[in-house]
Structure 1
């Protein structure tokens, strides 16, 4: 795979509509990059891949270092090599930081990887609890929230163009893991204090799908999927 490509397994739209069974192993997923996000079998927690290591943030509030045989239904991953880097040494909230990132990105019409590492004044995350079949809609799952102050760690995630809402999440989809690997999750909001921001623009998207009959033969209900993604992510 090109070092300037974003690889995605499954889609956010299918995940939201009920394709929650893990069908790809972490080991296979990691063949496509060293930097990524996703979720695990039965939407069990939030996946972060940082420096080639895979971690799951559990809905029970702890972080697990994954061994490789675990399976995921959805994930996005790339070989991370920043095109743009800048520092922030001020208290800025996520909206202000995202505005700076958008200004530095090559284009809002391309995918981009985003890494923000350093000290965060505030971090607010959530994590999906594991679901069992028959799966309910993703948007109906109650998700515990977690909060941390003055925490060191890294935000890992991607920007997707609006056109691809459904394939992925339009705008920023980001996860967090602390430096001590004890705190993390899907990021809802944050305030930075002293961080380095790294951005990588991607020229290509490689989209892969599950090959299992259950996925291929299911008629998913996508009627309100765009709204459900916006509400959930």
Structure 2
């Protein structure tokens, strides 16, 4: 077996990116690695509270506070109890993007019904240059570069020509399923010329039914005046920080409703429609 040193691996990845750049007209790639302090083993895993199928089925309340969530990661995405808006964590700060478009940092006493987080330390930085990069094109290019079996935390920063996001209105009991709730309680925002970050994960297919397979990103503008769950964007250049997780840890939703919900149905098709 041939073992590559850290430097050899970096050179190999750089050569690979150079070859791949020829596949995408108008786009150039560059790659660099950061010197990173070795993280404690438990900090290099993605942690999630609850599972996506429970949220899909209408388990909209949880008992995990934001203060407790911060102990599990300083970066990530999720939602709040009653699916009251979109949750984004960046550099240890937890933000709520509400259905009215407002953004605020939330207190530790707030709670979440589903969240996916990690202590973020970038292993690799990739620079993509357009013009006319779309969310779809970025996904396509990252899928060509990254191993499909990996778990990746992604932090994308750019000046976006357009950005399409959504946030949910809070639900009232008795709760319906998430797709039913979104039919009438989803607000879509069409942002123009906005600068900020996209935070979230690229997850492999084997995590289906526990999390969102593929890309799941939320947006936060640098001025903290807009954001939401990302549907699409366009930009001419992006900086993509990638943190590779060693694995994942799931904590079941501790709310009593989790024990009552029917998790037998496969909700994958429904999930694709709302993501």
Specify the TM-score bucket, using the shorter chain as the normaliser: over 0.9
Hey, what does 2:202 align to over in structure 1?
Answer: 159
Deviation at 1:80, TM superposition (A): 0.8
Indicate the larger mover: 36-45 or 76-85.
76-85
Retained in 1: the 8 A contact 2:61–2:255?
A: no
What per-residue deviation string (whole Å, max 9, x for no partner) do you get for residues 147-168 of structure 1? 1111100000101111211101
Where 2:137 maps in the other structure, the secondary structure is helix
Largest Rg, 1 or 2: 2
* Unaligned stretches of 5+ residues in structure 1: none
User: CA separation in 1, counterparts of 2:261 and 2:56?
Assistant: 13
Where 1:2 maps in the other structure, the secondary structure is helix
User: CA separation in 1, counterparts of 2:110 and 2:226?
Assistant: 20
Indicate the larger mover: 203-212 or 52-61.
203-212
User: CA separation in 2, counterparts of 1:138 and 1:222?
Assistant: 16
- 1:94 and 2:130 are equivalent in the alignment: no
Deviation at 1:2, TM superposition (A): 2.2
TM-score by length of 1: 0.95
User: CA separation in 2, counterparts of 1:222 and 1:232?
Assistant: 20
Hey, what does 1:186 align to over in structure 2?
Answer: 229
What per-residue deviation string (whole Å, max 9, x for no partner) do you get for residues 91-148 of structure 1? 201111112222332x211211111012111100011110011101110123110011
Deviation at 1:89, TM superposition (A): 3.0
Retained in 2: the 8 A contact 1:92–1:191?
A: yes
Hey, what does 1:137 align to over in structure 2?
Answer: 177
Count of residues in Structure 1 that have an aligned counterpart in Structure 2 = 231
User: CA separation in 2, counterparts of 1:20 and 1:129?
Assistant: 12
* Unaligned stretches of 5+ residues in structure 2: 1-40
Poorly superposed stretches of 4+, deviation over 3 Å: none
Higher helix share: 2
Q: 1:222 to 1:42 in 2, by over 3 A?
A: farther
- 1:148 and 2:177 are equivalent in the alignment: no
Task: Flag the structure with more relative contact order, 1 or 2, with Cα contacts below 8 A and sequence separation at least 6.
Answer: 1
Deviation at 1:170, TM superposition (A): 0.9
Indicate which of 207, 226, 232 corresponds to 2:268: 226
- 1:65 and 2:105 are equivalent in the alignment: yes
What per-residue deviation string (whole Å, max 9, x for no partner) do you get for residues 153-205 of structure 1? 00001011112111011100110000001100000011122321111111110
Cα RMSD after superposing both structures:
1.3
User: CA separation in 2, counterparts of 1:212 and 1:201?
Assistant: 30
TM-score by length of 2: 0.81
Hey, what does 2:250 align to over in structure 1?
Answer: 207
User: CA separation in 2, counterparts of 1:97 and 1:155?
Assistant: 12
